[in-house]
Structure 1
Amino acid sequence: MSNSVANFLKSLKKQPLQLRNQIRISCGNESADLDSVASAISYAYLEHIWANSNPSEAIIPIINIPQSDLILRKDIILSLNRLNISVEDLFFREDLISFKKTNSNCIVNAILLDHNEIPKHTAPYIDNVVGIIDHHADSKLYLNANPRIIKVTGSCTSLIFKYWYEKIQPSTRPLLKNVAPLCLSAAVQDTANFKRKIEEADLEVAPIYRDLLPELQFDLFYNDLNEAKVDIKGLSTIDILRKDYKEFAFPDGKGDDLIVGIASVVKNLDWLYVNTNESQSKELFIKDCQQYLIDKKLTFLMIMANNRDPKKFERQIAFIFDKKMVGNIVDKVIRDVAEYLDLKPFDDSNTKDSYISFHQLNVKASRKQVAPAIKQAISKI
């Protein structure tokens, strides 16, 4: 069998995991964007070729969403297809849950990738955190994890690829070509083809990718990915919200958790008001968002929207909430973050009881920066 990523994953699927006393998993975050999915798969594969391990000893990469949600992520489907990776050969959140429920005595040791705190949906099924590579704000948890690399960078895959490139023997490095397109997909997407949000690790791995993939046209490679990512025409409001969604439990000043959902969307608010499959009006769009808020049992929901125009990149942000229940809380949060995010009213929706929207003029602040700001604001309440 070849050393391709696809064959590695196929071999993992054939392993009788129920016979083990413990397993190791590599787990991306619950938004399961391309960076998280590529991180989980590439870490497991790179550790496998470094250790020259049998599949029975290898790390199991977990895609941290239900399998049914993957179809919404067309950029990920494209990236997997480029490596002939079948969805049927992947492990998803429900696989981890099912395994742990039927093998409760098996110890699950996790390497967290693209996050550094176990999200609540997977926390009951992970026993230990034994490694972390991430580029988000450090939660100061699992201090004995090894590796424990938390560093600002454009793409988490840049940190992962760099880490294993330096560990793998030069004689084995040609095998890196097998996984380089997957890591590169996340890197070019998160840095706009190495043109923005570039940090040290991104700059270090870029020439390595070029050496490993000398015939690849980076601009075309990136453009195809970007087109797939922004293609959400025909999706319902609910599908658009859950396509790139993260949920947080942020403690207030009394120590009580407030549950905040943040959906990142690849279109601006005006587009969303009239183009979602079921809504096709601002009022119906807001109604759908309110239903999502209720279904998820959230304190409030946030939508981070953008136009993805490299010439004039813009962001908007919207808050959906029950004014009678938490209106005072949301008002305090908005006042606290308004200066940092440079918020300006987006339209007359600010008069609504349950929906407030803004232009976010601090366009450098993505969810990676906004979530910690919201957490800090809530801690003061």
Structure 2
Amino acid sequence: MALPRTSLRGFLTHAKYTLQVAALSKSPVTFVVGNESADLDSICSTILYSYIASISPRSSRTSQVFHIPLLNLPKADIGLRPELLALLPKANITRDHLITLDDLGDANSLDARFSPANTRWILVDHNSLQGRLGQLYGDRVVGTIDHHVDEGTVLQDTQDEPRVITTCGSCTSLVANYLQHSWDLWSLYVSFSGAANGQGDNIIEDGAFATLWDAQVAQFALGAILIDTVNLNDEHKTAQQDREAAKYLEARIKMSPKIGKSYDRAALYDEIARAKQSLDNLTVRDILRKDYKQWTENSLSLGISSVVKPYSYLETKAQDQGNGDLLIESQQFVEDKKLDITSVLTAFTSTDGTFQRELSLLSRDERGKQVIERFCSDASKQLRLSGERRRESQDWLHVIWNQGDLAASRKQVAPLLRKAMAAIQ
């Protein structure tokens, strides 16, 4: 039996309440969580999966499982994601509706409120739980939907939960495709009893409002897919799964008379893309942590920041902030994050209209330097690195390249760096 229909706004309101009850009563809870970069794809994947999976009918269970959509970032970092803030109104939600790491309480006593034995975790946009959550709950992962390299940490047999790991442009595409049947089945449960108000936080069943709610969620999910695939136009990033998901979501959007009439894919993409490119109000440190992921390999810590502006933009911003030297700012970032190696991957369109990538590495000790040299030796040809700029200062080594392989994003670069880390003594 499906749970009563509600808007995404109503669902998130109920999810916050459910989380608070679980913390107080020590009751079982199922989390859905994206990766540590908490980019638009991770966030949309998390929310979409939780929403549909919580309320759609389940054929193999007698009762529903409520899924808590946990965003893998502190609440303060939501403001670093203008593209998310631009997309939230499409689903009639605000940042206050989102559940972040802050809602779990003090990280030092996390396992006292949410005992590992009482939790289940479904990963989206990653397949290996990292950081503090990974330390406490890594062996409580029961499923994953991801488009990165399979790290082999999720069991092959996940029973009723998903284990979908395949390459495509956007993880949200995989989530939408996986849930398509459930979403369609869910729609059959809508009653046409009428409703007085469909925009609040109340649970109401009504066909007209259901199509509106579906369209809001579909537009929210589609925004992430369009950003990751450059409006489905980037042949290096767009796969058949992305096109299929976009087609399905657009059909959902067009079923709503209120939203479907004014829907325009190009306009939606342009609005979100412009917001994502807007970094002027952020500091260098904000930009470095805006789209950031971290790994540990061979007792070494690696952090990678993805940036949508050229490296020269960061250098100019560091000067404008009064720091003078971007290297000093980067060194402070490494020390604050307790990293051995940090990388900045830039992806941008130049003034002549061509898409370009840069790759930089910074290490602060001898082992880190060995990783850089090993990576340079092993990966330069594959990534078509050129124009090396090298700078050494005391124990630090900083290297910047132009990256000729325009298809290689963090999904491809991170495994190469981790391989180099694993290879050194």
Shift of 1:248: 0.8
**Structure 1 CA distance, aligned partners of 2:53 and 2:251?**
21
**Letter paired with 2:115:** S
Query: In the superposition, relative to structure 1, how do residues 360 and 170 fare at CA in structure 2: closer, same or farther (>3 Å)?
Result: same
Shift of 1:12: 1.6
Say which is worse superposed, 110-119 or 98-107, in terms of deviation.
98-107
Shift of 1:96: 3.1
**Letter paired with 2:414:** A
* 2:242 aligned with 1:212: no
* 2:84 aligned with 1:76: yes
Pick the aligned partner of 1:288 from 323, 329, 338: 329
Q: Give the secondary-structure state (helix, strand or coil) at the position aligned to 2:56.
A: helix
**Letter paired with 1:288:** E
Q: Corresponding residue for 1:221?
A: 268
TM-score, normalised via structure 2 length? 0.82
Shift of 1:20: 4.6
Q: Give the secondary-structure state (helix, strand or coil) at the position aligned to 1:180.
A: helix
Within a 5 Å distance, the mapping from 1:78-117 to structure 2 comes to: 78-96=86-104, 98=106, 100-104=111-115, 107-117=118-128
**Letter paired with 2:291:** D
User: Retained in 2: the 8 A contact 1:25–1:108?
Assistant: yes
Shift of 1:188: 0.1
RMSD: 2.5
Query: In the superposition, relative to structure 1, how do residues 203 and 91 fare at CA in structure 2: closer, same or farther (>3 Å)?
Result: same
Shift of 1:375: 1.5
* 2:73 aligned with 1:65: yes
Say which is worse superposed, 86-95 or 18-27, in terms of deviation.
86-95
Shift of 1:57: 4.5
User: Retained in 1: the 8 A contact 2:90–2:216?
Assistant: no
Query: In the superposition, relative to structure 1, how do residues 371 and 324 fare at CA in structure 2: closer, same or farther (>3 Å)?
Result: closer
Q: Give the secondary-structure state (helix, strand or coil) at the position aligned to 1:51.
A: coil
Within a 5 Å distance, the mapping from 1:224-239 to structure 2 comes to: 224-239=271-286
Q: Give the secondary-structure state (helix, strand or coil) at the position aligned to 1:131.
A: strand
**Structure 1 CA distance, aligned partners of 2:116 and 2:185?**
40
Shift of 1:97: 5.2
**Structure 1 CA distance, aligned partners of 2:219 and 2:402?**
35
Q: Corresponding residue for 1:12?
A: 15
**Structure 1 CA distance, aligned partners of 2:272 and 2:357?**
21
**Structure 1 CA distance, aligned partners of 2:214 and 2:419?**
40
**Letter paired with 1:7:** G
Q: Give the secondary-structure state (helix, strand or coil) at the position aligned to 1:26.
A: strand
Within a 5 Å distance, the mapping from 1:286-365 to structure 2 comes to: 286-308=327-349, 311-322=353-364, 324=366, 326-347=368-389, 349-350=390-391, 353-365=396-408
User: Retained in 1: the 8 A contact 2:57–2:186?
Assistant: no
- Give CA-to-partner distance per residue, 1:28-80, whole Å, 9 cap, x none: 00000000000111100011231389x99410000001111110000011111
**Letter paired with 1:360:** Q
User: Retained in 2: the 8 A contact 1:131–1:148?
Assistant: yes
**Letter paired with 1:363:** L
**Structure 2 CA distance, aligned partners of 1:190 and 1:278?**
30
Query: In the superposition, relative to structure 1, how do residues 72 and 293 fare at CA in structure 2: closer, same or farther (>3 Å)?
Result: same
Shift of 1:164: 0.8
**Letter paired with 1:114:** D
**Letter paired with 1:13:** K
Q: Corresponding residue for 2:154?
A: 142
User: Retained in 1: the 8 A contact 2:33–2:124?
Assistant: yes
Structure 1 segments (4+ residues) deviating >6 Å? none
Pick the aligned partner of 1:22 from 24, 28, 42: 28
Shift of 1:171: 6.2
Shift of 1:277: 7.6
- Give CA-to-partner distance per residue, 1:66-121, whole Å, 9 cap, x none: 11111000001111122221222221123235454334376110000000000123
* 2:151 aligned with 1:154: no
Q: Corresponding residue for 2:417?
A: 374
Shift of 1:278: 5.5
Q: Corresponding residue for 2:194?
A: none
**Letter paired with 1:340:** Q
User: Retained in 1: the 8 A contact 2:226–2:269?
Assistant: yes
**Letter paired with 1:179:** V
**Structure 2 CA distance, aligned partners of 1:289 and 1:64?**
23
User: Retained in 2: the 8 A contact 1:237–1:288?
Assistant: yes
Query: In the superposition, relative to structure 1, how do residues 362 and 103 fare at CA in structure 2: closer, same or farther (>3 Å)?
Result: closer
Query: In the superposition, relative to structure 1, how do residues 105 and 64 fare at CA in structure 2: closer, same or farther (>3 Å)?
Result: closer
Q: Corresponding residue for 1:195?
A: 233
Shift of 1:210: 2.3
User: Retained in 1: the 8 A contact 2:349–2:355?
Assistant: yes
Shift of 1:344: 0.8
Q: Corresponding residue for 1:254?
A: none
